[in-house]
Amino acid sequence: MVRPTLLGRPAIRHALAVTVCVYASAAVFSLAAQVPQLRSMTDGVYSAAQAARGQQVYQVQCGECHGMAMEGTTGPPLVGDSFLSNWSGRPLANLIDKIEKTMPFNQPVSLSRQQAADLAAYILQAGKFPAGQAELTEATLAQVAFPTVRTLPAPAASGAATFLPPPEGNLAELMRAIAFPAANTIFNLQIRDPAAQPKKSPASSPFDYVEWGSSVYPGWLAVDQAAIAITETAPLFLTPGRRCQNGRPVPVDRADWKQYVAALVEVGKLAHQTSRARNYEAFVDISEKLNDACADCHKVYRDKGGTEGSGAIRCQ
Ligand code: HEC
Ligand code: HEC
């Protein structure tokens, strides 16, 4: 389902608020009616036989990327602190969904739900959660969550980092969420002058929020925003406690890492000034500077490890 992300009309906001209230009170009632028995992960939620079945599949289909002892190789580790903090407080069902829907990374959606559950049992066993008598089933799943891990943020290296909220995504996700689309907005200027973009005709009937949303900030406004996004979010690469996809901590304390981030902030500011001056010609140079600012860091910390999704030696 596509939901409009830009809510322009108060009517829609209110409509959403109402739906949320209805769900909230429904949840209260059903909780009161069912009183689910919550179980701890340490209560023996899977059986040893199930874990053994999981192990069979693991050795053939997973070990290559996650390591035979789940220590992580090209894929992230599936035991230890970084794994447990990724899954802190999340329902066990999410882990099974993740395996069923996205793994093996190179051949997703090839496992059955049962196999995914068996694999989860094996992962729990490797993580030293005790086995019990009964197997992990859909019914037990709904009641079990990973223990909540409190991760103390590493001591902040710079004053600014002290006030940053804890990370939500890994580094690659953050890059894809902000740096990638923002940089591409700027790179696209090489192909198209934002002032020359045809004005989209306003909403057709029936009114389409998605189409409308994509046309609200056209041309140079989109470039201003991209420049601001790059400048203001580059410091998020310094957030303590963030990990790279492979489970390694982002090297936020390294002097060269901080320099690469600072260099990106500088290019972002220059892009913003230039965008506000609506100086199209100057963007040839800015595109190049921006590309260098991304690539200088990638050469050292990203691309040594290989292509997307791989790279055990990334962030090292
Ligand atoms: C070709 C390499 C590859 C194979 C094979 C593979 N994985 Fe992965 N796996 C990855 C990569 C890369 C990631 C990180 C990206 C992601 O989360 O999607 C990952 C992430 C995961 C995660 C999430 C880890 C976390 O901390 O969030 C789990 C769980 C997982 N894999 C389980 C499995 C299981 C079980 C198998 C075998 C059925 C498997 N993987 C096979 C590469 C692989
Ligand atoms: C300070 C270093 C640094 C800077 C600056 C930087 N990146 Fe990254 N980037 C990385 C690292 C390291 C990764 C791998 C992260 C991981 O595997 O979790 C990455 C991953 C990515 C990815 C995900 C693709 C993949 O292979 O996993 C994209 C997209 C990306 N960067 C785009 C950009 C863009 C665009 C810029 C410039 C606007 C930029 N980055 C600036 C370090 C940097």
Please name each of the domains of the chain with its CATH number.
Answer: 41-141 (1.10.760.10), 160-305 (1.20.120)
Q: Which residue has the tokens 């059903």?
A: 30
The pLDDT value recorded for residue 218 is: 80
Pocket of ligand 2 (CB under 6 A): 170-172, 175-176, 179-180, 183, 230, 237, 244-245, 257, 260-261, 264, 290, 293-294, 297-298, 301-302, 308, 314-315
**3-state SS assignment for residue 84:** helix
What per-residue string of b and e applies to 305-314 under the rule 16 or more CB within 10 Å gives b?
beeeebbbeb
For residue 58, the ligand 1 atom closest to its alpha carbon is: 37
Q: Which atom of ligand 1 is nearest to the CA of 57?
A: 38
CB 75 within 8 A of CB 64: no
The pLDDT value recorded for residue 268 is 96
What separation in Å is there between the alpha carbon of 299 and the centre of ligand 2?
10
Separation of CA 314 from chain center = 17
**Pocket residue to mutate for ligand 2, from 82, 180, 267, 302, most atoms within 8 A of Cβ:** 302
**Ramachandran bin of 99, using left for φ above 0, alpha for ψ from -120 to 50, beta for the remaining angles:** alpha
pLDDT for res 7: 26
Substitution candidate for ligand 1 out of 61, 65, 79, 170 with most atoms within 8 A of CB:
65
- Report d(CA 61, CA 55) in Å as an integer: 10
Q: Which mutation among 175, 231, 248, 269 tests ligand 2's pocket best, with the greatest number of atoms within 8 A of CB?
A: 175
pLDDT at residue 67, rounded to an integer: 93
The protein residue whose alpha carbon is closest to atom 29 in ligand 2 is 176
Closest CA to 309 of 237, 250, 249, 246: 246
Q: What does the pLDDT read at residue 88?
A: 87
In the three-class reduction of DSSP (H, G, I as helix; E, B as strand; rest coil), residue 215 is classed as coil
Q: Specify the residue for token string 């040893």.
A: 48
The pLDDT score that the predictor gives to residue 141 is: 84
Q: Ligand 1 center to residue 314 CA distance, Å? A: 16
Query: Mean pLDDT for each 10-residue chunk of the chain (316 residues)?
Result: 32 33 36 57 94 97 94 88 87 93 89 96 96 90 85 49 72 93 91 75 70 78 94 93 89 94 95 93 94 95 68 81
pLDDT value at position 123? 97
The pLDDT value recorded for residue 164 is 61
| Whole-number pLDDT of residue 271 | 96
Cα gap 243→297, rounded to integer Å: 16
CA distance 37 to 46: 16
The whole-angstrom separation of Cα 245 and Cα 250 is: 10
Whether residue 49 contacts residue 138, with contact meaning beta carbons closer than 8 Å, is answered with no
Give the pLDDT of residue 34. 45
Alpha carbons 136 and 43: distance in angstroms, whole number = 12
